[in-house]
Amino acid sequence: MSSEQFMKTRRNFVKLSAVAASASLLSGGLTVFARGVAAPITLPPLPYAESALAPVISANTLSFHYGKHHKAYVDNLNKLIPGTEYADNSLEQIIKKTAGVADKQAIFNNAAQIWNHTFYWNSLKPNGGGKPTGEMAKKIDAAFTSYDNFKKELSAAATSQFGSGWAWLVAEKGALKIVKTPNAENPMTKGQTPLLTIDVWEHAYYLDYQNRRADHVTAVIDKLLNWDFAMKNMAG
Ligand code: FE2
């Protein structure tokens, strides 16, 4: 399943019949028409059990990270967008329209954090990590000389991101690159195609690793990265 496929929000619209929903007010004969109501953005299911990534990421961490943090971004966005121009947009449309717009930052932050977390869950898998094979191995060697250099660059991006943010493997004009973004920001707003990501917000690792972000990042790279997902994203 590609990122585009899973990110397509299934947002059906409840088309209320204006006639059926209209209500005549007794005084003045005014009529109120109910508008179409957008179905809420939904929290996508985790692609594995909460315990599936242990011991690298514990079920306790996943329970809070997915069930509290990710869910909160969904709940927040569903309070922010009704009645706005974004009410019936996809997440990608909301992210691209609100990126860098000062008075839309809350909408951007929550929309991007929903997208980033769904992408992150899919960037990981049980018994993943280590050297990719096949076409992805060739692309990693072409871009970074070797897998070891790739790992060093990704670790450096993930550990040097000051404060909250994300480390990403992206494709830009056909070439692979590693980038880092602060807070909720996403490389798609800069014309890059995300292939994999690592969440380096403290909530991603603090229960298991406390301040040892580097140890967490190394374990994720060695044991959890989902190269199949990266390859599907590369293929678009
Ligand atoms: Fe997170």
> What's the whole-model pTM score?
0.84
For residue 30, the CA-to-ligand 1 centroid distance in Å is 48
Q: The tokens of 4 are what? A: 């585009």
For residue 116, the CA-to-ligand 1 centroid distance in Å is 8
pLDDT digits 0-9 by tens, 178-190: 999 999 999 999 9
Residues 6+ apart with CB under 8 A from 168: 157, 178, 179, 180, 181, 187, 192, 194, 195, 196, 197, 198
For residue 175, the CA-to-ligand 1 centroid distance in Å is 27
pLDDT digits 0-9 by tens, 7-56: 444 333 333 323 223 332 322 233 232 323 456 899 999 999 999 999 99
pLDDT digits 0-9 by tens, 111-141: 999 999 999 999 999 999 999 999 999 999 9
For residue 101, the CA-to-ligand 1 centroid distance in Å is 22
For residue 236, the CA-to-ligand 1 centroid distance in Å is 24
For residue 63, the CA-to-ligand 1 centroid distance in Å is 12
pLDDT value of position 29: 30
Q: The tokens of 52 are what? A: 């599936």
